[in-house]
Amino acid sequence: MAEKSSKQAPRVATGDRAILPEGASTIPVYVMGKKYEVPESLTIMKAMEFVGFKFIRGAGCRGGICGACPTVYRKAGDYKIYFGLACQTVVEPDMFLAQIPFYPANRAKFDMETIEPTAEAIHALYPELFRCVACNSCTKACPMDVDVLGYISAMKQGNIAKAAEISFDCIQCGLCASRCMGELPQYHIGQLARRVYARYIQPKADHLRKRVEEINSGKYDKMLEDLVAMSKEELEKHYTEREREPDLASPGEWKPQDTQYL
Amino acid sequence: MKIKYYPGCTLKSKAKNFEDAAIASLKELDIELEEIDRWNCCGVVYSLADDDLIHMVAPVRNLIRVKEQGGDKVVILCSMCYNTLSRANLLMKEDEEKRNTINSFMDEEIDYSGEVKVLHLLTFLKEEVGWDNLREKVSNPLKGLKVAPYYGCTLQRPREVGIEPLGSFELMTEFLEALGADVVKFSAADLCCGSYQVVGNEGVVLDASAKILNIADSEKVEALATSCPLCEFNLGKRQGLLMEEKKIKKEIPTFYFTQLLAVALGIDPEVCRFDLNASASLELLKTRNYS
Amino acid sequence: MPVKITPKTVNTDFIKKLEELSGQNIHLCMQCGTCSASCPMSENMEFTPRKVMHLAQFGLEEGLEDVNTCKVCASCHSCTVRCPRGIDIARVMEALRQMILRKNINFVEPSKIPAETIKELPPIALIAGFRKLTS
Ligand code: SF4
Ligand code: SF4
Ligand code: FES
């Protein structure tokens, strides 16, 4: 897969978006055991592309939010395993790298429309939850610093709200599941907790309900029709001249000049 | 007075009645149970294999939480959590080699060597409240209620963590007497209900539980007081099935000891969540005008 | 079932492993049967705890794997606290269980338990059950 790497880094990197800064020095990294010289400022993902790997899967947003690029590495002489997102973590000298784009983890079948919003229903879908031994390996693996053991504990205690809250930052990368002694698919359990919470438990936002009613009652139909009827030029003019809430305005303070649509 | 408290998973769900009754009762006695932050499941059963240290991590982590949150004691209600945490604590205190391995495995936590004292609520009540004091606070004595203490396995065995010596059921007996109940001497008080085998060998557990209930019946026990949600499930919630299968002749209401405490202290029965007990439990209390 | 015991059938490695895992000296057992009499589960065991101790003393690993004793044991410690020789038999049972479980064999399959049963059982039962009966 990999192209031969040259000792001397070329002036312009060939990997996707990997532009080598002028005069950048290179460092050795090991990808799946093979040594490569890469520019020191690159992320793991760019470094791998730089040396010729091509991400067909295992890369998505490149912004640290889609969870497609989980990566695991060790540093020479250090027993610890490190985890990160390849698109976010910057390479270090003598890093031993491997990508774990996917780790098998069972996702239970359920129907959001008919599921009982109880902890028992979640327990019945994921009985392996009760095999957790609280080793905390999952938390140590999480590149998003989610307290994975925390949300698993909450779910074991039957507290869906707490599980949903603690797991909120999870990006479904699956690294937790790759480390689990109890063979749990933690992130699927957390996701189900969040879904059940959002759908059935979290209090419904009143302003949202009102707005939906307004939309259904046709309050905004006229506005939309006006917009649709506009020419491209008119639209552009509206867009560039639009009023904008200042970034630091405290909530509820700012009002547009033109209040006809409020 | 405030005391650190470890609840355990089941007290937060299926045995909410156990916990709620305890919190309300202790409030009445001017004691606040302070739930420790970020606790995890203790694993329920203590690992018995000599090389199996990973299963010690769960209970030890909870003891570390108590220590790092400034506690020197922790009160536990559930018999099985009590047993597991006590034994893990003992291990950390006494076995230096294993202690070091466990501490270094949990490199993200502070070191621990058994500094926290693990107390069952019954022990705590005796030591900190005292039976005479408790008797005075009772406004609704359980007069005439023929109740037997049921300890099951984990309050007494093994010896080194038992809340009292083998074969002695004084703690709960004195506790129930302070509540005004007629405590029945019960010969099956430490017979095993079959425990976790309900998951693997259900039939065996039905037999073991039926045996205990039949002895209770023949010894004229009207109600059983327990401290274990697993015993309460096997002996209490399964009684309908046991009747159906004709393994027992009579239903015997089961209570958590904290529920009886709450009733005797005159706390609103709503708080005790009798809806989570088998229906016969509340009926018995009602026919006696306790609630 | 008559069992023929010869120097060849005595699996000393098994005895050693069992003693290491359990931390118990199984040769202390004098076959008094107190454990079997104390065991609330013994009626449902193919071999009573005493018999298991006996087989173990002779290193009969295969015989022990086939009987359900350690799978039915509830770790109630009734035997342990009564053994006049001070053997923690519950630990011997755990060691026997672990020797099987560690071959990646489960005594119960969590994903095969009906949803209704899981919903009904309290967490304390499932956690303890999975700890003792799954690998
Ligand atoms: S909880 Fe698991 S899946 Fe979610 S971000 Fe953390 S490691 Fe990834
Ligand atoms: S890795 Fe698995 S067993 Fe360990 S704490 Fe996380 S969920 Fe529990
Ligand atoms: S590619 Fe989306 S998180 Fe890295």
Atom of ligand 1 nearest to the CA of A190: 1
Contact C122 B80 (CB under 8 A): no
* Whole-number pLDDT of residue A10: 47
**Interface pTM (ipTM) of the complex?**
0.95
Q: Does B134 touch chain C (CB under 8 A)?
A: no
> Is the domain of B104 the same as that of B226?
no
Three-class secondary structure of residue B287 per DSSP: helix
Chain C contact residues (CB < 8 Å to A): 110-111, 113, 115-116, 118-119, 123, 126-127, 129-131, 134
* Whole-number pLDDT of residue A262: 74
* Total number of domains in chain B: 2
* Whole-number pLDDT of residue A20: 65
E strands, B48-167, in order: 73-76, 117-120, 146-149
Mutate to test the pocket of ligand 2, among A81, A129, A138 (most ligand atoms within 8 A of CB): A138
Q: Is the pLDDT of residue A206 over 50?
A: yes
The finding on whether A175 has its CB within 6 A of some atom of ligand 3 is no
Q: Residue B73 belongs to a domain with what CATH number? A: 1.20.1050.140
* Whole-number pLDDT of residue A105: 94
Average pLDDT over residues B177-201: 97
CATH for A26-99 is 3.10.20.30
**Domain membership flag for residue B180:** yes
Instruction: Output phi, psi for B32, to 5 deg.
Output: -110, 125
Q: Residue B151 belongs to a domain with what CATH number? A: 3.40.50.11810
Q: Does C100 touch chain B (CB under 8 A)?
A: no
Chain C partners within 8 Å of B211 (Cβ): 40
> Is the domain of B153 the same as that of B259?
yes
> Is the domain of B115 the same as that of B232?
no
Three-class secondary structure of residue B248 per DSSP: coil
Find out if CATH 1.10.1060 is the number for domain A103-229: yes
Interface of A with B in 80-119 (CB under 8 A): 119
* Whole-number pLDDT of residue A13: 46
**Domain membership flag for residue B64:** yes
> Is the domain of B190 the same as that of B228?
yes
Chain B partners within 8 Å of C119 (Cβ): none
Give the model confidence (pLDDT) of C12-69 as tens digits: 999 999 999 999 999 999 999 999 999 999 999 999 999 999 999 999 998 898 899 9
Average pLDDT over residues A188-209: 96
User: Which of A134, A153, A156 minimises the CB distance to B57?
Assistant: A134
Contact B153 C78 (CB under 8 A): yes
Q: Quick one: which ligand is closest to A141's CA? A: 1
Alpha-carbon distance of C17 to C21, in angstroms, equals: 6
Mutate to test the pocket of ligand 3, among A44, A61, A72 (most ligand atoms within 8 A of CB): A61
Domain boundary (B121, B154, B185) is at B121
B11 min Cα distance to partner chain C (Å): 9
A112 alpha carbon to ligand 2 midpoint, in Å? 26
Alpha-carbon distance of A184 to B106, in angstroms, equals: 20
* Whole-number pLDDT of residue B220: 97
**Domain membership flag for residue B185:** yes
Chain B partners within 8 Å of C49 (Cβ): none
DSSP, res C6: -
> Is the domain of B9 the same as that of B80?
yes
Chain B partners within 8 Å of C81 (Cβ): 157-159, 166
Domain ranges of chain C: 12-103, 108-135
Q: Is the pLDDT of residue A12 over 70?
A: no
Give the model confidence (pLDDT) of A92-105 as tens digits: 999 999 999 999 99
Q: Is the pLDDT of residue A5 over 50?
A: no
**Domain membership flag for residue B131:** no
Atom of ligand 2 nearest to the CA of A179: 1
* Whole-number pLDDT of residue C121: 97
Alpha-carbon distance of A208 to A202, in angstroms, equals: 13
The answer for residues whose C-beta is within 8 angstroms of residue A95's C-beta and 6 or more apart is A29, A30, A44, A73, A74, A75
> In which domain, by residue range, is B187 found?
140-287
Name the CATH architecture for the domain at C12-103.
Answer: Orthogonal Bundle (1.10)
Domain ranges of chain A: 26-99, 103-229
